Amino acid sequence: GKDGQYAYGVFKLYTATKAYRDLSDAAAEDEASTKVLAVPSAVALCFQVVSDLVMAADDEANGGSKYVPDVKSAEYSAGAICNMLPAILQAGDPPRKSIQTEKACGELATMFTQYSKLEGTSEEGKECALKAAEEIKAAGSSARPILEISHDLWTQYRKREGQPLDQFINQEKGIEVDESGPLDFLPCVNSDGQCSIL
């Protein structure tokens, strides 16, 4: 291809994802090197490869993925994420709570868990996916800037492709509301049970 441009079809997806996984594996011993590899666009591409495979395998997903990556590409992508978790999950400075991180952690943990349950996923792929799901889910308590940006890029990709954005949202979790919650503007919500509408 031209200098600085990717010529479509030059490399197979599994070749690129394997190389990235191997680089992240070599860098895993040095946190500074891992940070260099864990750029949000690359992390988002790994999310994309894994989620495309999960969505392609889900017969019930409306507007599922048009792209079906091979099983090895998804395994290599999950491996790269697993190797880079310390950099991806690095907390923001100063530490703060973030709804975006909480949402990203929930969606990604669900996606990696679903990937680990796919038929044809190798033991290594399952192990990496479950480790990623566990660590990502546990990281939702404070802001994780790299994870947030990567998740946002992945979400933008899914929007462009017309994929369902609620595919990986855990439907089991409800939000408990009381009178000081999001409905406190309603006139009928008060603790004494009286309702007065003006």
Burial 37-75 (b: 16+ CB within 10 A, else e): bbebebbbbbbbbbbbbbbbbeeeeeebbeeebebbbbb
**Is the Cβ–Cβ distance between 81 and 46 less than 8 Å?**
yes
Tell me how many degrees the CA angle 84-66-170 measures, rounded to the nearest 5: 55
Measuring CA to CA, how many Å separate 160 from each of 121, 153, 157? 27, 11, 5
Looking at the whole model, is its pTM more than 0.75?
yes
pLDDT at position 116: 95
**Is the Cβ–Cβ distance between 80 and 21 less than 8 Å?**
yes
**Is the Cβ–Cβ distance between 51 and 109 less than 8 Å?**
no
User: pLDDT tens for residues 103-149?
Assistant: 999 999 999 999 999 988 999 999 999 999 999 999 999 999 999 99
Question: DSSP letters along 1-36, please?
Answer: --TTSPPTTSS-HHHHHHHHHHHHHHHTT-HHHHHH
| 47-56, 91-100, 122-131, 167-176: segment of lowest average pLDDT | 167-176
SS3 label, residue 102: helix
pLDDT band at 175 (very low <50, low <70, confident <90, very high): very low
Measuring CA to CA, how many Å separate 86 from each of 24, 34, 48, 147? 11, 8, 20, 11
**Is the Cβ–Cβ distance between 20 and 74 less than 8 Å?**
no
In this model, does residue 1 exceed pLDDT 50? Answer: no
pLDDT at position 30: 83
**Is the Cβ–Cβ distance between 11 and 47 less than 8 Å?**
no
